[in-house]
């Protein structure tokens, strides 16, 4: 199953980013998935799958958007992961 989301935006918005049509749409898709990951609402694996890239490539992509690859975990979650490693 797949779905579509339609977002209306003024042309000047894409122009202000020096992007056209498909490039702007792709940027919106990527930034949405990065933000959902950052908020802890989406796993890196799921985001990567939606984008059609590997999980490692998605984690590398996070740096471009200045988002930590650790995600929205708090220090207790990280300490627990370390203890269980």
pTM score, whole prediction:
0.76
Task: Show the tokens assigned to 54.
Answer: 């590997």
Collect all residues with Cβ–Cβ distance below 8 Å to 82 and sequence separation of at least 6. none
Residue boundaries of the structural domains of the chain:
11-84
Q: How far apart are CA 72 and CA 85, in angstroms?
A: 19
pLDDT tens-place string over residues 30-73: 999 999 999 989 889 999 999 999 999 999 999 999 998 875 55
Answer positive or negative: Cα dihedral of 81, 43, 58, 28.
negative
């Amino acid at each position: 199953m797949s779905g579509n989301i339609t977002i209306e935006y003024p042309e000047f918005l894409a122009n202000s980013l020096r992007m056209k049509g498909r490039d702007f749409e792709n940027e919106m898709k990527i930034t949405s998935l990065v933000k959902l990951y950052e908020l802890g609402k989406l796993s890196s694996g799921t985001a990567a799958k939606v984008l059609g890239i590997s999980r490692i490539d998605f984690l590398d992509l996070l740096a471009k958007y200045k988002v930590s690859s650790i995600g929205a975990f708090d220090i207790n979650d990280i300490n627990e992961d370390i203890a269980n490693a």
